Each structure stands twice: as structure tokens, then as C-alpha cells.
Structure 1
Amino acid sequence: MFQKILASIGIGNAQVDTKLDRSRYTAGDVVNGVVEVKGGNTEQAIDTIYLTVYTTYIKEVNDTKVYDNAAVASFQVSSPFTIGAGELKSIPFSFNLPRTTPITGGKTQVWVQTELDIKMAVDPTDKDYIEVNATPLANEVLAAVKRLGFRLRKVECEKAPLRIHTPHPFIQEFEFTATNPTYKRHLDELEVTFINQSADSIDVLLQIDRRARGLGSLLSEALEMDESYVRLTFTDRDVFSIEQTLKQTIERYM
């Protein structure tokens, strides 16, 4: 009885260790691995095991920017079972990393968190950080922006504005500055956000921020009227025309 009381407050409780097949993935990849559960000092009934993909994002609280965690997706990988004292169980799993998983870079982190649901006890957890690469279409969009004469300045996940409908409370923004003299003369920055992605298409939101020139431009900048938002959709069939479409769109709103 005393051991059960200790387990309920996390002393001598079951332990969990998740082993992923690798540490680097592309959004949309299949993630394989094994959850190892080691029994503590007493037998325990485990309701289920969840794997949750988390990331960090910035939001404002009382005019102060703070970091918060957001779940990208959660997966149940076991049904209820009992783990004996000192017993070791290995539970294999497989899930698809959502295509909406943010790309790791800058201050953006992504990890897989394992949680054991044990009634009347402290739930054991495990955290495994992973690197996430862009999907082929997203990667082609970012590469095309760079070829046009832009340099990536910052990558950050921020709280999603109300005007953007996304499956998550955040969006990931890729902030570029112009190195091309023409764009540099007309633009302060270009922001690229991937809104939705499927196996063969991607929705891209461009925020084209024009440079203030003269009193009228300064007034527009103060009223945030110097920014244009343009939504584009690309498919696998558009790979060879992405750069030209981006060029035409940016120059139309400069």
C-alpha cells in the first residue's frame, strides 16, 4: 500500500522513454519508433499512451511578448494495459508528421512529447526534439524568393491573426529583406507564410511591405496601409513557374 501511495505522487512510478527512428524529418514524413515503459516499484494500470507534436510560438500578453507551446497533432499509440513492478514493455508506433508542422529554424523548436495517462498518479512524460525540413513545394517557394534577390532575415512562429484561418493558433513567418537593388529601393521587407499544405499543393500568403517615400507614404506606413496581402496557390505542376509568378506578384504590388 505504501508503494502505491509513493507511486501516486511520482516516487517509484513507471518510467517512459521514446526512441524515434531518426531525429530529422520532412513535414509529411512517417515517424516510426518505440515507446519503452518500465514499471516502477508497484503494479500500475496505464489508461493510454499519447504522442503529441509540439512547437513554440510568440504571443502578446499585456503588451509583452511571451513564448507559449502549441500542439500540432496528438496520436494515441496504446490501449489500456497493466505494467508490473520492474517490467519492461516496448510499444511500436507509426504516425504521419503533419505537413503543417513548422520548419525548425531561428527560434522555432519542435518536439515529440510522450505522456502516460495513469489514474490517481503523476503522469510520466518524455520529450524528444526533432529537426523538421520544409516540404518540397515549400522549399521551392523559399528557394525562388531567394533567387529573386531576397535574404532570409528571420523565421518565427507567431499567434495567428484573426484574418488568417489556420488549423493551429500560430503561423510561421519567413521574413525576407531585399538584396536586389530594385526591390531594395521599393520594399522594406517581404514575409512568406504557408497557410495550408497537401500532398500536391500549397497555399502561400505574401505580405509585401512597401518602403515609405514622401509624406504620403509615411502616412500610409503609420496607418499600416503600406502592406499588401496576396494569397497564392501552387501545385506540383507549377514547380517551374513558381519563381516567375512570385516575381510578377511582388512587382505588381511594389
Structure 2
Amino acid sequence: MSFFNKILASAGIGSAKVDTLVDQAVYVPGEELSGIMRIKGGKIDQEIGKIDIELKTEYIVEHDDKKTITTCCITRVKVSDGFHLKQGQELEIPFSFQLPLETPVTHAKQPVWLETALDIDMALDPTDRDSLKIEPHPYMSTVFEAVHLLGFRFRSSTCERHPKLGRGVPYVQEFEFAPGPEYARDIEELELIMQLEPEGVHVLVEVDRRGRGLSGWLEAAFDMDERHAWLSLSREELSYGPDHIADVLEELIDRQLH
């Protein structure tokens, strides 16, 4: 084992490599994510302190009319304790963990990824970043279908800082919808924030009303043109299907408009 190889490995050249592979192409929040981690030793023996996997995303922070993007670790999972990795040795380590219910949906280019790092003493830690595709949970899909039945069209989705509503994470994911013909005269935009539970979903419904005339201008000036309300949907109620949820949403929206 040459001194030159030790120097290169400490700089990350010829050091151990890690590649993380997941078992599925698509996941939903709350589902178990599983896969294997492939590790290949470098040009020298190395001591691996531990192996962690972090589930990460990004969210927007707005301050003084300026927006910045911040990275957030949703959860960290320990995959392995420390061990001795021999030169050129190849290992496969299985792992699995449950995706938190707060994992964002990757619509509108919202990034979610796994970041894997080997803790190597006196060396640069080799890392691996793997993007994930996260589709809506079935509870969320039922609500989205109901919104579509009311004529609303998906416009965009972003994760934004809101530690009070985040439930353990500093952000919430907002889903924005443009109104169809039935609501175009009264509504500028419909926004939903969802809090998933094992037995249902809480939905914050915010209606951005379209201002008309002087009263509309005054409402917009004092942020009175936005009204919101919580809607709690149990698993049993969601099982009635999108048509039933559309009726419930329609009644709530109409109350907010009048």
C-alpha cells in the first residue's frame, strides 16, 4: 500500500465508491422504500465509520420580497455501522425505511432525492445522489380527482416554508389550480395543502377570490380576497369516491364565496 495511494484516497481519488439502487421506479408518501447499496473498495484499505441515507427535498423561503431555495433533510436512516473495507472489495448492503407522510410529490419539478454518504476517516466522503419519483398518495389522488370534476386545472406546485403547518418539517407543499368556466368569474385560484394521516387526510382549502370593482380592490389591498378552511376526510369518506368528495368540496367553496 503506497503512501501516494493514501494521499490520493484522502483527496477522494481512488477511494471507495458507493452506488444506491432502489427497488421501484415510483413511490408514494408513507410507502416502504427498499433497495441495495453497492460499495466498491478503492486502491487502499479504508475504515468506514458508518453509512447513512438521507431523504432530501428543497423548499422556498421568502423574506423581504426575496425568495431563496433551501435544502431540507426530511429523514436520515442509518444503514450500517462501521467496518473495514478492503482494497477492491465489493459489498451489497440492503436497506429499507418508510417514506414519511410529509414527503413531497414530485410534480412540477419538485425535487426529492436520496443522498448516501460513506463516513471515511481522514478522507473525502464519497456520496451518491439518486432522484426519486413520488406520486400522490391514494387519499390525495381522490381529492385531486374531485377538484378536476369541479372543473379546476392543475397549475403548479411548490414547497414553501411554513414550520407551523409542516408537522416536523419546515415546509408545506402547496397545490395551485386554475378555475374552470363555472368558477372563473369568482375565483382567481384554488390552493390546497394536504396533511396525510394513516386514517385519512386534512385539506386546507384556500380560495383566492377574483376582485371586482372598488370592494374587490379593497379586499385585495387588505388580503381579504383570500379565504381558507380546513376539511378533514376520513378513509371511510374517501372510499365513497371522487364524486362524493367533489360534492363536499363544492359546498365548502360555495360557503367561502358567500
Letter in 2 for 1:105: H
Q: Which residue of 2 aligns with 1:164?
A: 165
Output aligned runs, 1:69-88, within 5 Å: 69-88=71-90
TM-score normalized by the length of structure 2? 0.92
Q: Which residue of 2 aligns with 1:128?
A: 130
Q: 1:163 to 1:93 in 2, by over 3 A?
A: closer
**What is the CA–CA distance in structure 2 between the aligned matches of 1:230 and 1:71, rounded to whole Å?**
29
For 1:253, what is the secondary structure of its paired residue?
A: helix
Q: Which residue of 2 aligns with 1:244?
A: 247
Contact 2:166–2:172 at 8 Å: present in 1 too? no
Q: Which residue of 2 aligns with 1:55?
A: 57
Q: Which residue of 1 aligns with 2:217?
A: 218
Q: Which residue of 2 aligns with 1:232?
A: 231
Question: Alpha-carbon deviation of 1:114?
Answer: 0.9
Gaps of 5+ in 1: none
TM-score normalized by the length of structure 1? 0.93
Question: Alpha-carbon deviation of 1:62?
Answer: 5.7
**What is the CA–CA distance in structure 2 between the aligned matches of 1:189 and 1:231, rounded to whole Å?**
17
**What is the CA–CA distance in structure 1 between the aligned matches of 2:215 and 2:122, rounded to whole Å?**
65
Question: Alpha-carbon deviation of 1:65?
Answer: 2.3
**What is the CA–CA distance in structure 2 between the aligned matches of 1:106 and 1:3, rounded to whole Å?**
45
**What is the CA–CA distance in structure 1 between the aligned matches of 2:154 and 2:198, rounded to whole Å?**
25
Q: Which residue of 1 aligns with 2:185?
A: 185
**What is the CA–CA distance in structure 1 between the aligned matches of 2:15 and 2:62, rounded to whole Å?**
38
Deviations 1:15-58 (A, max 9, x none): 10111112211222211111011111111111111111111222
CA RMSD of superposed structures (Å): 1.6
Percent of aligned positions that are identical: 39
Letter in 2 for 1:227: E
Q: Which residue of 2 aligns with 1:208?
A: 207
For 1:27, what is the secondary structure of its paired residue?
A: coil
Contact 1:148–1:180 at 8 Å: present in 2 too? no
2:8 to 2, 6, 21: 6
**What is the CA–CA distance in structure 2 between the aligned matches of 1:212 and 1:134, rounded to whole Å?**
32
For 1:112, what is the secondary structure of its paired residue?
A: strand
Q: 1:235 to 1:193 in 2, by over 3 A?
A: same
Question: What is the total number of aligned residue pairs between the two structures?
Answer: 251
Q: Which runs of 4+ in 1 moved over 4 A?
A: none
**What is the CA–CA distance in structure 2 between the aligned matches of 1:221 and 1:75, rounded to whole Å?**
45
Output aligned runs, 1:20-39, within 5 Å: 20-39=22-41
Output aligned runs, 1:193-204, within 5 Å: 193-194=193-194, 196-204=195-203
**What is the CA–CA distance in structure 1 between the aligned matches of 2:118 and 2:203, rounded to whole Å?**
37
